[in-house]
Amino acid sequence: MIIEKAGKILEEHNLCNHCLGRMFAKLGKGTNEERGRAIRLVLSMEINKEIEEPKNCEICNGIFKRMSEFLNLALEAVKDYEFETFRIGSRFPREILEREKEIWEKFSITTGEPINREFNRELGKMFAKATGKVPSERPDIVIILDPFSRKVELQVNPIYIAGRYRKLVRGIPQTPAPGFDESVATIICRIFKRYFNGKCIFKGAGREDVDVRTLGRGRPFVVEIKNPRKRNVDLKIIEEEINSSRKVEVLELRFINSEEAEKILTTRHRKLYEALVYVREGITREEVTKVVKSLRGATIRQRTPRRVLNSRSDLVRIRKVYDAEGEYLDEHHFKLKLLTDGGLYIKELISGDRGRTKPSVSEILGKEAWCELLDVLDVLEEDENVKGNSREV
């Protein structure tokens, strides 16, 4: 039945061995070209006359005879990129795909393979052999070729790198802001951009104010490198160059995938803070103890602070203080160390923000209190215990 159907197809259509064999791609083993050549040979033997392969195939227009040309186009397109894995894609004119589909429908072909699939596979095999690179479903680079226009498009998949940053000085925003020459993001990204030769996008797991330092193990962050031309980069060298700024340090840099990046950025991290609190009316050791006892284990109802209302929705957030410690310094100052949920505004937890945060240090004391200095001492991982670990308050 295969030979009979193939004979009827060739009576009406001029097809090369590739396109003929592709009509029966789901049957047997071997390439479509081998399959088509075998079918043509059997048909020739039956009529005792050679059925020659046409010079001009009405489906593919001879593209399978030009595969070396397409390979060279692909090789030229990727010559400036480092990559280990790849995938070949293609774009065919609609009329080519419809012409093939019409023949399938006309002769009730149910065993066929689309022309673009064969093209991708055959070019992929040639590309792998020529470069030593590995085909993959999650590749570093996707090469999309239009064999009729000879245009090549590259889709270079981004690189994701995770780490933690320490902001060692005050007066630097996390991301670029008007009035500031640099930021945590620009200090980090200018090094990544230079080494990976791509666009760097910085994303922090939460943020701190301009006047707040981030110390200890630092805050988790992710950088996404779009359209990287370099991939084989020693992250230790990047760490050293960033850390030489003496303003921002990075540590624990590692390559990750997009799913890991999403988890890092969406996980709500508990944080350990240290604040220098000022009380104009004066403070006693007993009052410091009172603040600590009142805040330890407290549930905080915090309406969006007035200072960020222009960029945050006005709503009430429920957050928890897990632990607290206090240290009396002088009649107007004490240190307050707090382990809290992420997303709790510490400055407003101290001041009360005109009653928008309850309870607050000001409310507990019955006196106005302000945060003069604030540091992030640690950002806990999701699986770290609040109690019983080395970072317990």
pLDDT of the residue at 47 = 87
Contacts of 58 (CB under 8 A, 6+ apart): 13, 14, 15, 99
The answer, yes or no, to whether residue 392 has pLDDT greater than 50, is: no
Within its chain, how far is the Cα of 142 from the centroid?
Answer: 16
- Percentage of the chain with pLDDT > 90? 92
Judged by DSSP in three states, 160 sits in strand
Residue 165 CA to residue 170 CA, distance in Å, equals 14
pLDDT of the residue at 147 = 97
* 348: confidence class by pLDDT, cuts 50, 70, 90: very high
The CATH-assigned architecture of domain 271-379 is 2-Layer Sandwich (3.30)
Task: Give me the residue label for tokens 């215990």.
Answer: 385
* 39: confidence class by pLDDT, cuts 50, 70, 90: very high
**pLDDT digits 0-9 by tens, 195-249:** 999 999 999 999 999 999 999 999 999 999 999 999 999 999 999 999 999 999 9
Taking each helix axis from N to C end, the angle separating 2-12 and 32-47, rounded to the nearest 10 degrees, works out to 90
Are 77 and 143 in contact by the 8 Å Cβ rule? The answer is: yes
Task: At 210, give phi and psi (nearest 5°).
Answer: -55, -40
Domains of the chain, residue spans: 1-156, 159-266, 271-379
Residue 302 CA to residue 50 CA, distance in Å, equals 87
Which of 389, 344, 376, 371 has its CA nearest to residue 165? 376
* 383: confidence class by pLDDT, cuts 50, 70, 90: low
Residue numbers annotated as active site: 209
Residue 55 CA to residue 349 CA, distance in Å, equals 81
Q: What phi-psi label fits residue 285: left (phi over 0), alpha (psi between -120 and 50 degrees) or beta?
A: alpha
**pLDDT digits 0-9 by tens, 323-343:** 999 999 999 999 999 999 999
Are 351 and 324 in contact by the 8 Å Cβ rule? The answer is: no
Q: Do domains 159-266 and 271-379 have the same CATH topology?
A: yes
273 is known to lie in a ligand binding site: yes
DSSP conformation class of 54: P
Q: Which residues of 31-43 are buried (b: 16+ CB within 10 A; e: fewer)?
A: bbbebbbbbbeeb
Question: Which whole number is the average pLDDT over 344-355?
Answer: 97
- Please name every residue paired with 200 in a beta bridge, in sequence order, or none if there are none: 225
pLDDT of the residue at 390 = 33
Global pTM? 0.87
345 is known to lie in a ligand binding site: yes
**pLDDT digits 0-9 by tens, 46-103:** 988 899 999 899 999 999 999 999 999 999 999 999 999 999 999 999 999 999 999 9
Question: Which whole number is the average pLDDT over 268-274?
Answer: 94
The CATH-assigned architecture of domain 159-266 is 2-Layer Sandwich (3.30)
Contacts of 184 (CB under 8 A, 6+ apart): 165, 167, 172, 173, 174, 175, 202, 204, 248
DSSP conformation class of 53: P
Residue 193 CA to residue 228 CA, distance in Å, equals 9
Residue 147 CA to residue 72 CA, distance in Å, equals 12
Which of 181, 183, 180 has its CA nearest to residue 247? 183
